[in-house]
Amino acid sequence: MMVELVVTDILCKASDDRAYVMILKERDGNRKIMVAIGANEAQAIAFALKGIATKRPITHDLFRSLANALGATMKCATIGKISDGTFYSQLLYQQGDAICQIDSRTSDAVAIALRAGAPIYIDEELLNRVGVHDVFNGAISVPISVADTDTLRTVLDKAVKEENYELAMKIKEEIDSRTNEEFSSDEPHDNI
């Protein structure tokens, strides 16, 4: 079963001002996913969300225009799997009776879907496995096992800004435990 998602926020990663995290939330629920994206994709998604038109078409506008010129209609974007922290997505187009699925980076799929007015879906099993649950007032419980350390740092910064210190402490403890694991799993060190 597929669950519809909507883009709710784009955050700058604490560790790199050129990298961003896109937050997608299920339309009729409280589960969210966080997707790491680049600066260009963040800008393209932000423009689409705010209805900002550029003087010249950017890549996502060009792709939409090309599909329209060929008589293809975008039906939806889907997020179907995650591997090594990377989400894998598809664009679903219909041209006459033919259906075409095109492999896509998730950030590009979202940027194009927003421009086409097409829904964004995720496999419910995947959402259950990697989803973040919005508890109340923006506080979240994070499935630590799937979030990378940079994403955790971004969520940590947001929790501190929102004065959600309980969540901030849990995330800080997880980040610290990862640092300790990395150190202990290195090659044996000579004790001096």
Task: Evaluate if pTM is beyond 0.75.
Answer: no
Torsion, Cα 169 86 178 139, to 10 degrees, reads 10
In whole angstroms, how large is the CA radius of gyration of the chain? 19
Burial (CB count within 10 angstroms: exposed 0-12, middle 13-18, buried 19+), residue 147: buried
Higher pLDDT pick, 45 / 138: 45
Largest Cα span, the chain: 73
For 9, the token pair is 């926020």
Q: What is the pLDDT of residue 176?
A: 81
The rounded distance, in Å, linking the Cα atoms of 152 and 170 is 10
Supply the pLDDT for residue 46: 93
pLDDT over 60 (residue 133): yes
- Can you give the pLDDT at residue 24? 95
* Tens digit of each residue's pLDDT (9 = 90 or more) over 68-125: 999 999 999 999 998 878 899 999 999 999 999 999 999 999 999 999 999 999 999 9
19 or 178, greater pLDDT: 19
Q: Following CA atoms 57, 111, 46, 8 in sequence, which dihedral angle do they give, to the nearest 10 degrees? A: 160
The residue that leads in pLDDT, 154 or 14, is 154
Q: What backbone torsions phi and psi does residue 13 show, to the nearest 5 degrees? A: -70, 140
Higher-confidence residue: 108 or 171? 108
54 falls in which pLDDT band (50, 70, 90)?
Answer: confident
CATH architecture of 2-136: Roll (3.10)
Angle at 121 between CA 115 and CA 123, to 5 degrees: 155
Residue with more model confidence, 179 or 140: 179
Strand locations in 39-119 (E): 73-83, 86-95, 98-105
Map out the domains of the chain as residue ranges.
Answer: 2-136
132 — pLDDT class (breaks 50, 70, 90): confident
